Structure 1
Amino acid sequence: MDSDDRIERWFQQYGNDVYNYLVYFSGRRDVEDLVQEVFSKALKALSSYEGRAQPKTWLLTIARHAAIDYRRKQKMMDWFPENVLRLLTSKERTPEKALVLKEQLQEAYEAMNHLKSTYREVLILRLIEGVSTAETAEILGWSEAKVSTTLHRAIKELQKQMGNSGREVNLHDAIY
């Protein structure tokens, strides 16, 4: 299989994952150009891909670097605008539960905007994107222990930012 075919297959398999990751990471919905850039960079770097990481992990690593580069260029600091919440809908929720979750998510995203970048990154990957600890470690270039510790600290800090008003912060349940 040649490089173009492999990247095309990966785009079909992982394009939505890369898109969603970039939306959460950048706080913007118009990330199609970044997605295209990720797969363009992947095509150029495919000869150096050794297969040690899963293709999705490798692509998300490229996506992370592309988003960081984009953010630096744009000097964008508003990571979680309200319009991201429109992406988070589910057919299984009652309208009342959906409203409560939307309010909790809004509060969580506003609090996340005040966290340091390492906390935001690990929260996005682990809780929002559902990436495993091992894959998160590989994407961020950290040890698995650091991912777990940082996630724990990020959740604690997020709860503190939200005033923890007696409820647990569980973004994963709120989103899925």
Structure 2
Amino acid sequence: MLTPVLSSTRDTSKDESITAWALAARSGDPHAVDLFVRALHRDVRRYVTFLGADPQSAEDLTQDTFLRALGSLHRFEGRSSARTWLLSIARRAVIDSIRYSSSRPRLSDTDDWQGAAERTQSRDLPGFDDGVALAELLDALPDDRRQAFVLTQLVGLPYAEAAGVSDCPVGTVRSRVARARTSLIEWLDEAERRTAAPVAA
């Protein structure tokens, strides 16, 4: 059974510190670069994964995001939080990756590529089944609702920052999250009813 994911209230001073590290990194401070990357690495990886990156390419996209960000730090002026700025870059990195992948032919030396991919995945990790179930449910959501839900409920961004990353009004993000929650709850209830039905019969 999946545990509902609740939005966590992040410490504003932490975001201010991260933004200060980004500004210091812009000036060439290597310690600030290290602090900036360490503070946001997990959020970026989680975000690119739920935007549709497969687990194998998620780390590559995370690194690509930081490479793009560090190359653009001279343009970062701190008008928004560094987290919002970085997640916007991550979003563009995922979009570019999808465009690039869709323009290339896919090669496989086996007819059962899906089975081969599934056999390489580790299944004895704690919470693996719940994680797969959540990923499948999120994949079923329309892209805009999935992005709003992931940004606010999994990454923990406030709605205003999620709106900045998504380039849409705050009210739109709230609506998308509400609709995503409604769909996820309905699908979970339906799955539980299907699981319970054979027992009752």
TM-score, normalization: structure 2?
0.62
Q: How many pairs does the alignment contain? A: 150
The structure showing larger relative contact order (alpha-carbon pairs under 8 Å, at least 6 residues apart) is: 2
- Summarize the alignment of residues 22-171 of structure 1 with structure 2, pairs less than 5 Å apart: 22-25=48-51, 26-75=53-102, 89=126, 102-103=129-130, 106-160=132-186, 162=187, 164-165=189-190
Which amino acid letter does the alignment assign opposite residue 190 of structure 2? S
Query: C-alpha separation between the residues in 2 aligned to 1:146 and 1:34?
Result: 27
Equivalent residue, structure 2, for 1:3: 28
Query: C-alpha separation between the residues in 2 aligned to 1:22 and 1:166?
Result: 27
Larger Rg: 2
- C-alpha change, 1:3 and 1:41, in structure 2 (3 Å) is farther
Query: C-alpha separation between the residues in 2 aligned to 1:112 and 1:153?
Result: 12
Are the counterparts in 2 of residues 42 and 59 from structure 1 also a CA contact under 8 Å?
Answer: yes
Query: C-alpha separation between the residues in 2 aligned to 1:44 and 1:107?
Result: 37
Identity %: 27
Worse-matched range after superposition: 106-115 or 36-45: 106-115
Query: C-alpha separation between the residues in 2 aligned to 1:84 and 1:120?
Result: 25
> Out of 16, 29, 49, which is 2:42 matched to?
16
- C-alpha change, 1:31 and 1:112, in structure 2 (3 Å) is closer
Gaps of 5+ in 2: 1-23, 104-116, 193-201
The Cα of 1:62 is off from its aligned counterpart by 0.7
Query: C-alpha separation between the residues in 2 aligned to 1:141 and 1:40?
Result: 22
Query: C-alpha separation between the residues in 2 aligned to 1:111 and 1:45?
Result: 35
Gaps of 5+ in 1: 90-97, 168-176
RMSD over aligned CA atoms reads 3.1
